[in-house]
Structure 1
Amino acid sequence: MEFYEASRFYIDRERKKRSSMPSRHYHNGYEIFYLVSGDICYFIGDRAYQAVSGALFVIDMNEIHKLVNAGGASFERVTLEFKKEFLDDLFAGGMPVDVMSVFSRGLPFIKLSVQERGLVERLFDHMIREFTEKPEGYESCLKTLLYQLLLLIRRKTNAVSGEQPLVHSVRNKTFEIVDYINRHYQDKLTIADMARRYGISPSYFCKTFRQSTGYTFTEYVNHVRIKEAKGLLMTGNDKVAAVAGQVGFESLTHFGRVFKEVTGMSPLKYRRQYCSIRGGLPGSTS
């Protein structure tokens, strides 16, 4: 078990195959961990949690934890670390809502809806830009964004029953199914076909998939496809219709609707906003 000195505030987003902190460890700060893609096992205290993309963890100060990527496939995550004093001067009279209580409720795993995941990812993206580029007033902006994130988490934990997706002693097929979706998201994927592939009934497939991941099957497939589409829109020149086809949507209208549900904006607006931040549009914006 190792101790690490926490940063006053730190955030980064990285794709990797193994954790940079493989041993059980703790630190004198608070941590928020968000799994952008992949599937992992997260040990917090004496409990283990099965997580796929979209999972959000809040880890209390001095809480022992460890990430395990048993499958060895790459995963992408956002790690946010801060000390309480970073937020102490945000409000002159103290915090109007005790958002720090989210770390002491014994609910480290937060299940988010598709819309909530879109909001959380936008907050993370904004924080990463502020932290990396450090424009005028960036620290005040970071404090405001962090408070918004913690308030969202507090409201969510106020509403949940406390059900947590613990890893069972007998490993189920969920990780195998998730891996298949991550590799074949561009194909036509149906519940009936997936249930047949893994030798279980469609109803049991739907029930266990949601219990294990926090997603319905359709939500997870759409989440993976939109994540890939965002990358194509940001880095490529293909038209939106072509991007929709590349990530597995048969209808441009359906793609646009799902993309807006997840990100809060249309694919074209997302491309323009991202490229304007980086000083120019790719060759085609339609």
Structure 2
Amino acid sequence: MPKQSDKFSTPKNAHLMESEREIRFELPFEMDFENLSYIGVVLHETWGVNEHHHEHFELCYVESGQGWFTINDSLYTVSKGDLFLTKPGESHQGAASGELPFRLYYLGFNLEQMRSLEIEYYRIGFNRVEKDENHFIKYLFDSIVDEVRMKRQLSKMMVEGMFIQLLVTIVRIYNADNKGHTEGRKLATVIIDILNYLHSDIRADHNVADLSQRFHISRSHLAREFKQHMGVNIGVYIRSLCLDKAKHLLRETNESVCAIAETLNFTSIHTFSIFFKRHTGTPPVEYRKQNICSKVVK
């Protein structure tokens, strides 16, 4: 691992935690850019962060080493070149693991002024680990950090341009298999609140009636607004979240099918199995076997 002085000096506007060997820039760095909240670089092997949540998106990029993250108790392992994304309201934590040198970039941002991107990010599914195949995300991270550190002429404009490039590239990476896109309008506050709530507690028994009561909005208005903003009705969205998380738990954990059904608040393992087979064409146990086999083959 390079020494701290090899690449980074500490500008006046940076907060450097020497005991943790972490550099973090709180933004705007004497500039007027509201969407990018902070950017940081972890420079040590024993990094870890306790469970927490926040009201903005956060992207992590593993430059070297191995580690893990969780979202609401679902485990994700990460290694060199991996991206990991959390959405507002999602409880998450993470740490380095193994003996390899560990280096992590992280970025906090909101999308309140970027209408189309805000919807695209909320549509990203439960599979949150993707690979930066061509190292373009690393290049953009390095370039942004360098601009923040050096504060060159017109740095604000340069950072804004690279930041937007980074945001769009991330969406394309996560949605590589998704041909569709939506140039949506700005999400209403109540829709953002509902999305944050649904993602923070993914479960099969969410329904329009309970949500309308919790968020003080009529059922018809909620159904209409959600469909207009997100392009699908709220019931379909809830089912997609459950299916996405079920697939992840079956692939990446040893939890029993019964335990997964309970985690997602299905009334029984039978109900869960019917749900899963209806939407995938494969029973949960068979889906797990097929995915374990495919991993072994790779």
TMscore range, shorter length: 0.3 to 0.5
Q: What TM-score, normalized to structure 1?
A: 0.48
Q: Which has the higher contact order (CA 8 A, sep 6+)?
A: 1
Bigger radius of gyration, 1 or 2? 2
